[in-house]
Each structure stands twice: as structure tokens, then as C-alpha cells.
Amino acid sequence: MAAVTVQTSPSLALIKYWGKETQGINIPATGSLAVGLHDLRTKTTVTADPSAECDSVSIGGTEQPLHHFSTVIDTLRERAHASGRTDADTPLAVESGNSFPTAAGIASSSSGFAALTIALDAWWALNLPAAELSRIARTGSGSAARSVFGGFTRFQAGSESAEALYSAEWWPELRILVAITDTGPKTVGSRDGMERTRSSSPYYDAWVADARVLIGKAERALADRSVERLGPLMRESYLRMVGSSIAASPPVLYWLPASVAVIRACDELRGEGLVAWETMDAGPQVKILSTARDVEAVRERIASVAGVKTILVSGVGGSPVVTRDNGDSGL
């Protein structure tokens, strides 16, 4: 094969993963419920690089430290050896790019590690089951366990892999707006932010205990496609995550003044009867759950908030797409 290209989407948590039961291998302490952002894409291409001394990984044209990816690459390479691939040791060039800001709290690690895992599985023709791909992607980044699927996913506390709950067709009228307030990389990575929260926030244990209750209620709201019930649960999840993390020492605080202004604007929009339930992750961007009916009115209002630089709008879905180029020009 000449190249494998995989497209994936970031996984937006409606109910949040924040904290690890097991450090190093990303076993989550809190269960998460998420949806794939169909219109935001990560595109990753794998080719052979036989003259290179080792693998290389670039994102947006910038060479990355290989050790960030070695857990996933080494695991899949071992599988390639075990399945008798004679090309398992040939160095690979991995080129990845995002249609949205990288490492800025828009879950680029979820779509990135999912794309890498699926691309290497395809490259070495391993055909691993989805749960196994999810397990391997998780070792790169916890949220990547969910991006392997797309649609609506669940990643239970203490679990090694995520699972698909519903396809995008389950609730196709949902829309997600991403209000970008800062395009720079985040000040504290999720990994460090979670660990700091776990080790120093007096509210961490309460967050973990409460998250168990929240996810059960949210699963039922999703099963009933009730945005009236899911919205408030989403809000409780992100604000309780933030509550525990800003109480860490030193605090883990991602919000900017514009983030707060968007949160207030969402409250006003809801007061006017529009669907606009916000959530936030490890960054200053605000993501807003809305519907096809209301998305344009919500977009217009949020665009007028001072400090909002761009708004991305996405449908739900984001299932991975694999393209194999066998080097045949087709002529």
C-alpha cells in the first residue's frame, strides 16, 4: 500500500472525564458521555519511509516529539509482528492536520490519537475490532477511546475502552457551536490539570462521586432525546468539573473573560426560549449544544459577544473514514 488516510472527529463530552483511576494508561475515574463533532476533522496520512532511521509524526507540518505517540505506535507494531507482517519494522511517516485549532481545548487529542490508531490498524491490515482500537487509542489520550466510534459514545469509569451508544441518526437535529475565544495552545495540558486536581483539590472526591450520579441521569435523557433534561445535566457536569479544578493548588483555570460572557449569553438565550446549553473543557472555548431550529439565532448572538474570535458550527456524527491508496493511478 502506498498510503492510508484516516479522517476522524473530536469527541465532545456532554458529561466529562476529568481524573484518572490509573495514571499513565488513562483509565478514567469518571464516566463520560460524548458526541462526535461531524464537521470538525482531523486527517492523518501514513506512508512508508524506508530510508528514515525511525518513525516521524508531524501535525500541521510541524515535527512532533515521537515519544508522545510511542505507546500507540509500539502496541500496533507489536501486533503487526505477531500477525507476521514482514514490513512491521519499516519506519513510517505520519502526517496529521486539523480543520480547527490544535491543543486549544477542542479535543484535538481525541481525534488525533483515534486517527493514528485506525490508520496504523489499516496500514498493517490488522483489522482489530473497534473495542480493541478504542482500548489502544485510550493509551494515547483518554478521550480518543471515544473518537474511534463517532456518534454518541459512553466511556465508563474504570473501563479500558469506550463504547458506541447511538449513531448520529439517533438525534440528527442537534447542532454544536464552538465559540473560539483564544486560538493559542492551552496553559495547562489536560493530563497535568487532571493530576493536579486529583492530588490537591479538596473537592476531587466529591466530583468523582457526583459524576457517577450525573452520567446515569444523562444516559436516560439521551435515550429519551430530551434536551430539556440533558442540558442542565451537561451544565452540572462541566461546572462541577471546573469547581473541583479551580480549587486545586495551584488552580487549574482555563476561562477567559470572553468565556464567561458567552456563558451569560447562553443563559439569556435560554431565557428567550432558545436551545443553548453550554459546556467547557480544558481550554477557554465554549461549546454550545443547540438544535437545527435555533442554531442560526444562537450563532448570531454569540458572534456579537466581545472577545469571540470565530464560531465553528457542527452537526453530530464524526464516524471515522478510512481511505486506502494502493499506488495504482487507476490508468
User: Which of the residues 274 through 303 are near ligand 2P0 (CB under 6 A)?
Assistant: 281-282
Q: Which residue is nearest to ligand 2P0 (CB)?
A: 142
Which of 8, 9, 18, 76 forms a contact with ligand 2P0 (CB under 6 A)? 18
Cβ distance 290 to 315 under 8 Å?
no
Return the closest-CA partner of residue 180 out of 276, 48, 305, 90.
305
Cβ distance 18 to 241 under 8 Å?
yes
C-alpha cell at 142: 483518554
Q: Is the dihedral of CA 85, 88, 92, 96 positive or negative?
A: positive
* Site membership for ligand 2P0, residue 32 (CB under 6 A): yes
Shortest separation between residue 219's beta carbon and ligand 2P0, angstroms: 15
For residue 130, list its beta bridge partners: none
Return the closest-CA partner of residue 218 out of 35, 33, 37, 36.
33
β-bridge pairing 174-180 and 310-315: antiparallel
- Among residues 5 and 26, whose Cβ is nearest to ligand 2P0? 26
Query: Starting at the edge strand that comes first in sequence, how are the strands of the sheet with 56-59 ordered?
Result: 62-63, 56-59, 92-98, 42-48, 3-8, 321-325
From CA 280, how far away is CA 268, in angstroms rounded? Answer: 18
Shortest separation between residue 300's beta carbon and ligand 2P0, angstroms: 27
Shortest separation between residue 282's beta carbon and ligand 2P0, angstroms: 4
3-class DSSP assignment, residue 79: helix
Cα separation of the two ends of the chain? 17
Which of 139, 141, 197, 201 forms a contact with ligand 2P0 (CB under 6 A)? 141
Cβ distance 176 to 316 under 8 Å?
yes
Shortest separation between residue 311's beta carbon and ligand 2P0, angstroms: 20
Residue type at 156 in one-letter notation: Q
* Site membership for ligand 2P0, residue 13 (CB under 6 A): yes
Return the closest-CA partner of residue 29 out of 37, 19, 42.
19
- Among residues 13 and 136, whose Cβ is nearest to ligand 2P0? 13
C-alpha cell at 50: 524506508
How many helices (DSSP H) and strands (DSSP E) are in the chain? 9, 16
* Site membership for ligand 2P0, residue 124 (CB under 6 A): no
Among 141-149, 172-180, 202-210, 306-314, which window interacts with ligand 2P0 (CB under 6 A)? 141-149
Side-chain half-sphere exposure of 81, counting CA atoms within 13 A: 8
Among 67-75, 128-136, 139-147, 261-269, which window interacts with ligand 2P0 (CB under 6 A)? 139-147
- Among residues 4 and 35, whose Cβ is nearest to ligand 2P0? 35
What Cα–Cα distance (Å) separates residue 215 from each residue in 156, 224, 307?
A: 9, 14, 32
C-alpha cell at 217: 441521569
- Among residues 124 and 277, whose Cβ is nearest to ligand 2P0? 277
> Would you give the binding string for ligand 2P0 spanning residues 183-222, x where CB under 6 A is met?
-------xx-------------------------------
Among 122-130, 135-143, 204-212, 226-234, which window interacts with ligand 2P0 (CB under 6 A)? 135-143
- Among residues 141 and 290, whose Cβ is nearest to ligand 2P0? 141
> Would you give the binding string for ligand 2P0 spanning residues 83-122, x where CB under 6 A is met?
------------------------x-xx------------
- Among residues 13 and 222, whose Cβ is nearest to ligand 2P0? 13
- Among residues 112 and 320, whose Cβ is nearest to ligand 2P0? 112
Residue ranges that bind ligand 2P0, judged by CB under 6 A: 13, 16-18, 26, 32, 107, 109-110, 141-143, 190-191, 281-282
